[in-house]
């Protein structure tokens, strides 16, 4: 049997605790680019947490007071947090003052002696530079309709400038700011300086789509046990072509394939398993007329047909195998948590855990997004879909009905059965609201743990970072899949500044809080690497 989405998630008995003024101030533009050792730290940085956390998101939501219509249209700004042991910090520890060395004073001392360096910088895309020079918004209206190839085919190309604001990834010695509708921008990982558009050794053409949601395969027999970065790009129109690329750790192309599927494919994210790429083709239709007339953004011209099935596209990683398409109840998905294959005596199954919305969360263009009625927007909820690969039947069960987004997990469990997910959730168990808490979901036991930053804290995407000395996940009997930390950047309305909070993944208790001098507007996605970038040019 197929279950349905929770029909009345907005009937709240426990109200969410937040003030709209607080929430709105987290969307103020941050135009200052800064770089400094963070001196204001509550708690103690973990001794074995070293590396660089990169985050991306819209850094400015207006040009000279002219607001962008939606925060997703804001110019990409990269933040980097470099965690380092004191002795590798180019001697700055001694320079910073004697009070640091004894673990007291100014809140900067901590027993581990570790430090964290912060840097933020805009991605200097041609559109960003042009608008800064002009002092006004240039990319509005219907300028792109003259592009060849048909309006529908180019819809997301012509919508706006490449704003490079969705994700940031380091792979094959390249740091790239990603935006799904066009090529990435390459950045200097040390300084975050923009190097220019990145065409991946000629793999991409100018303007060609390259998604903001790469997945890292932790390795399997298919990859010779090696990690691979897998990403896709969609050329969407009346039919849609999905190109999928797998990159070796040195950045070289391991394999590539393109598949054409019927219909307009609005694909933000995907999931991988050992043998498949998994896409959800949401039953959306486009009414491009309001976009052409300049009444709506292209993303606002998408309608979900609730009577039509959502199609699960299973594209085999073996390019010689045919694509399979399975139907499930209508829903809209931006983000998948994970997917994996299960061999059963009665047939093979494919499990997909995804954040499902009952409807496409489009906003009325006449309403300022800052005034959105949260109760009128369907919440995302975590669902498990089980596809029987012999019969094609798909069943769906709700794992977590609390409004949620931004799921993450141990990187070694991607494409494999994961026990723990960490995700952003609302403070209250029902109703829709800004995300203010982190939830740990144990899919084996059903156990939940929650750490809420309400009423004055608002979260971004959490990331799980495994402890470097953690036991190997291949030893599943003894492993601790939650041996590590959850890093989450929050907007702290009390200070009108952002805190990077380090939670113990085991129980979500707060270990340390890195308090920035400034706020970082609500962002989208990020990643963590063990390399400690950005310290050479640091000064304190
Ligand atoms: Co996303």
Q: How far apart are CA 379 and CA 377, in angstroms?
A: 6
If you measure from the C-alpha of residue 209 to the centroid of ligand 1, how many angstroms do you get, rounded to a whole number? 15
Stretch (H or E) spanning 175: strand 174-178
List, as own/partner pairs, every contact residues 377-380 make where C-beta atoms lie below 8 angstroms and the sequence separation is at least 24, other chains included.
Answer: 377/432, 378/9, 378/432, 379/9, 379/10, 379/403, 379/404, 379/426, 379/431, 379/432, 380/334, 380/335, 380/355, 380/356, 380/404, 380/405
**Ligand 1: centre distance to CA 279 (Å):** 14
Tokens of 256: 């590539």
DSSP state string for 97-122: -GGGTTT-STTT--TT--EEEEEEEE
CA 444 to centroid of ligand 1, rounded, Å = 26
Cis omega (within 30 of 0) for bond into 191: no
CA–centroid distance, 268 to ligand 1, in Å, is 6
Distance 179 CA to ligand 1 centre (A): 10
Written as one string, the DSSP assignment of 445-509 is: T--EEEEE-TTTEEE---EEEE-TTPPPTTSTTT--TT-EEEEEEEEETTTTEEEEEEEETTT--
**Residue extents of the structural domains in the chain:** 2-529
Q: For residues 481 and 509, is the Cβ–Cβ distance under 8 A?
A: no
What does each of the 540 residues of the chain score in pLDDT, given as a tens digit?
Answer: 344 444 344 444 678 899 999 999 999 999 999 999 999 999 999 999 999 999 999 999 888 888 877 778 889 999 999 999 976 544 444 344 334 443 333 444 456 789 999 999 999 999 899 989 999 887 743 223 233 344 444 444 444 578 999 999 999 999 999 998 899 999 999 999 999 999 999 999 998 999 999 999 999 999 999 999 999 999 987 789 999 999 999 999 999 999 999 888 889 999 999 999 999 988 766 655 555 544 455 566 666 676 788 899 999 999 999 999 999 988 889 999 999 999 877 779 999 999 998 876 665 656 677 888 888 888 999 999 999 999 999 999 999 999 999 999 999 999 999 999 999 999 999 999 999 999 999 999 999 999 999 999 999 999 999 999 766 666 555 578 999 999 999 999 999 999 999 999 999 999 999 999 999 999 999 999 999 999 976 654
Ligand 1 centre to CA of 524 (Å) is 7
Cα–Cα distance for residue pair 35/207, rounded to 1 Å: 32
CA 147 – CA 228 distance, rounded (Å): 35
């Amino acid at each position: 049997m197929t279950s349905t989405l929770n029909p009345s998630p907005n009937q709240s008995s426990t109200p969410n605790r937040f003030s709209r003024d607080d929430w709105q101030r987290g969307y103020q533009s941050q135009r200052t680019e800064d770089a400094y050792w963070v001196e204001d730290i509550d708690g103690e940085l973990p001794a074995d947490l070293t590396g660089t956390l990169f985050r991306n998101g819209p850094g400015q939501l207006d040009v000279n007071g002219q607001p962008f219509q939606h925060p997703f249209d804001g110019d990409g700004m990269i933040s980097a947090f470099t965690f380092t042991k004191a002795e590798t910090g180019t001697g700055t520890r001694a320079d910073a003052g004697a009070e640091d060395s004894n673990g007291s004073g100014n809140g900067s001392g901590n027993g581990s002696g570790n430090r964290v360096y912060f840097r933020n910088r805009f991605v200097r895309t041609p559109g960003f530079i042009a608008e800064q020079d002009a002092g006004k918004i240039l990319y509005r209206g219907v300028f792109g309709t003259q592009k060849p190839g048909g309006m529908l085919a180019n819809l997301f190309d012509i919508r706006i400038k490449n704003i490079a604001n969705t994700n940031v990834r380091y792979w094959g010695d390249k740091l790239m700011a990603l935006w799904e509708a066009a090529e990435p921008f390459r950045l200097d990982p040390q300084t975050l300086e923009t190097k220019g558009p990145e065409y991946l050794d000629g793999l991409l053409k100018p303007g060609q789509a390259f998604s903001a949601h790469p997945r890292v395969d932790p390795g399997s027999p298919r990859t010779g046990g090696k990690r691979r970065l897998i990403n896709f790009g969609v050329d969407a129109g009346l039919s849609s072509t999905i190109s999928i690329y797998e990159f070796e750790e040195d950045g070289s192309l391991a394999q590539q394939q393109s598949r054409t599927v019927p219909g307009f494919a609005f694909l933000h994210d995907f999931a991988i398993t050992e043998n498949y790429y998994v896409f959800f083709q949401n039953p959306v239709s486009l009414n491009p007329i309001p976009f052409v007339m300049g009444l709506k953004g292209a993303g606002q011209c998408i309608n979900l047909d609730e009577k039509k099935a959502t199609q699960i596209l299973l594209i085999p990683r073996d390019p010689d195998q045919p694509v399979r398409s399975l139907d499930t109840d209508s829903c809209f998905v931006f983000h998948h948590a994970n997917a994996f294959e299960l061999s059963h005596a009665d047939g093979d199954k494919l499990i997909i855990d995804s954040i499902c919305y009952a409807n496409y969360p489009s906003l009325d263009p006449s309403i300022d997004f800052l005034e959105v009625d949260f109760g009128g927007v369907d919440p995302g909820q975590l669902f498990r879909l089980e596809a029987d690969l012999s019969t094609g039947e798909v069943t769906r069960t709700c794992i977590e009905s609390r409004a949620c987004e931004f799921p993450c997990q141990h990187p070694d469990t991607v494409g494999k059965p994961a026990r723990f997910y960490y995700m952003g959730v609302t403070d209250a168990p029902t109703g829709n609201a800004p995300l203010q808490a982190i939830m740990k979901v144990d899919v084996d036991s059903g156990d939940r743990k929650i750490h809420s930053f309400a009423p004055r804290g608002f979260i971004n995407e959490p990331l799980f970072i495994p402890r470097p000395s953690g036991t190997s996940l291949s030893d599943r009997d003894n492993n601790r899949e939650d041996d590590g930390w959850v890093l989450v950047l929050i907007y702290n309305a009390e200070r009108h500044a952002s805190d990077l909070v380090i939670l113990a993944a085991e129980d979500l208790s707060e270990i340390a809080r890195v308090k920035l001098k400034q706020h970082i507007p609500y962002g989208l996605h990020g990643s963590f690497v063990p390399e400690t970038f950005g310290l050479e040019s640091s000064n304190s």
